[in-house]
Amino acid sequence: MVKVAILGFGVVGSGVAELLRKNSEKIAATARCEVELKYILDVKNSPESEFSEKIIQDFETIEKDEEVTIVAECIGGKGAALDYVRRALLAGKSVVTSNKELIASCGLELLQIAKQQRVSLLFEASVGGGIPIIRPLSQCLASNRIEEIYGILNGTTNYILTQMIQCEKSFEEALKEAQRLGYAEADPTADVEGIDACRKISILADLCFGKNVPPEKVETEGIKNVTAQDVTLAQDLGYGIKLLGRAFRTNAESEISAYVAPHLVAANTLLANVSDVMNGIVVRGNAVGQCLFYGPGAGQMPTASAVVADIIDAALHADDKKYINWEAEAPGCFIPGAEVESRWFLRTSALPEKVAAILENAKISKLTDQCAVITPAMKREELLNLNLPILSAFRVLE
């Protein structure tokens, strides 16, 4: 028998407890042993919960209980969660987590501790919610040299952009609708400014390229500046707008780059048709080519599904650990996004004739008092030096 403790009894933690109860027979059969929930760490007693007798307030009880061999961290953030995860690993307990901020910022340190203590640190749920992506990258695609990974990594922003494209709503209207439906928080900053997607692409870059990519190095732009005019002009040119996290190898063998920003995506591609709160992640390997992983990127039970899958994996490999690892960042290996060339969607108040004179043979889409064009490949600085009044500028996904 394997005994588990859950840290945090919010949306994800309560979902993990419920799934362990509801699917106990299936979980036991897959893990080849019974998986028992022993403790739930929470600040509240929650006497109305069916799990009330398992709720405790002192982490030290879990830390010192040798029967507990797996800890599921569902608190979030880097405060108490970092302290508890570090202590659990040092106490010889495997840890599974859905905490993207923790893994993006502290994963290098925590994975090293896990390896030293010969325990597992698993984090499938930290990216993509219920979409399997961490395990496929580290196992199923392990024979590939990954060249690029990119995708729609945040369901809230994808819902907002979908409403702007399909229902012709403004950003403000779409955000209010997302908040009403519970897709966006009262403070949506982490979503709409791209912070959530930044943490996720940082983790994916770490895995794909084997080097630590700190989230603070990932240039990040959200969707607050996307307007109805951008949507209309992009559609005229045959594109939709998506917030993408991207990480890829540059032309140099050892160089990588990563950034988060709105992108124009060709309307006839699968990724352009990932709508509402769904996520889609594209992996390009030198053997497999392109793979698209699609599914719910958040939500109680999809995320709980990934957490419990990691619990099963930790139980199965209690004696023969499978270590996920990446190295510290090598000096000079990271290239800022501003230094990477790409084609750009440029919306400007300049007359079409002036745009055509500067960007010869470019296809131009017009509104009454402005127009848009897709530029040749160039760096951001070159774009700013075109001598055109820029209203919007977004990269084009090739």
* Distances in whole angstroms, Cα of residue 203 to Cα of each of 95, 115, 189, 350, 371: 17, 18, 20, 41, 38
Rounded CA gap, 153 and 326, in Å? 21
- Our answer to whether residue 38 is catalytic in this structure is no
Write the CB contacts of 50 (distance below 8 Å, at least 6 apart in sequence): 21
* Distances in whole angstroms, Cα of residue 80 to Cα of each of 58, 87, 294, 310: 12, 11, 32, 21
Write the CB contacts of 7 (distance below 8 Å, at least 6 apart in sequence): 13, 41, 59, 62, 71, 72, 73, 74, 75, 81, 84
Q: Is the CB of residue 337 less than 8 Å from the CB of residue 198?
A: no
Looking at the DSSP assignment, which residues form a beta bridge with residue 393? 346
Q: Is the CB of residue 242 less than 8 Å from the CB of residue 272?
A: yes
CA dihedral for 96, 83, 106, 152, sign (positive or negative): positive
Report helix, strand or coil for 283.
strand
Catalytic residue among 93, 169, 200, 242: 200
Angle between helices 11-22 and 24-31 (to 10 degrees): 80
Q: Which of 296, 298, 260 is nearest to 151 (CA)?
A: 260
Rounded CA gap, 329 and 91, in Å? 28
Looking at residue 313, its amino acid is: D
Rounded CA gap, 305 and 15, in Å? 8
* Phi, psi (deg, nearest 5) at residue 225: -95, 5
332: left (phi over 0), alpha (psi -120 to 50) or beta: left
Q: Which residues are catalytic?
A: 200
